Amino acid sequence: MINGAHVIVYSRDAEADRAFLRDVLEWPHVDAGGGWLIFRLPPAEVAVHPADGPSHELYLMCSDLTATMEQLTARGVEFTAPVSEARWGRTTALRLPGGGEVGLYEPRHPTAHGG
């Protein structure tokens, strides 16, 4: 049946954001043709939260938020939100070169992907 998920990040500067995923996060990728890179994501999971209308968010997950932030800061990554502490996890956000933001999340609950 379903064997995967494809996430699309819309960007004002797609080339810069692709370079960020390739060079800063060092994600493996394939070239789908003409330099159009498709990246392999780490294990993923989906949660459904109640809301007044449809919307979607992307959070990258890590096992140690502080260490991950230190590593990414050393690579020139800008964080756009202070670390938020909650009983279910710790979160922040980072800026993509194209101007967008992506959440970064250290869960404190069991994960569906087993990581």
Is residue 101 within 8 A of residue 58, CB to CB? The reply is no
Query: pLDDT for 41-93, tens place per residue?
Result: 988 888 898 999 888 889 999 999 999 999 999 999 999 999 999 888 999 99
Q: Which two tokens stand for residue 10?
A: 């819309």
pLDDT at 54: 83
Query: pLDDT for 94-103, tens place per residue?
Result: 999 999 999 9
pLDDT grade for 114, boundaries at 50, 70 and 90: low
Q: Using alpha carbons, list the distances in angstroms from residue 74 to 39, 41, 68.
A: 22, 22, 10
Q: Other CB atoms closer than 10 Å to residue 22's CB: what's the count?
A: 14
State the pTM of this model.
Answer: 0.86
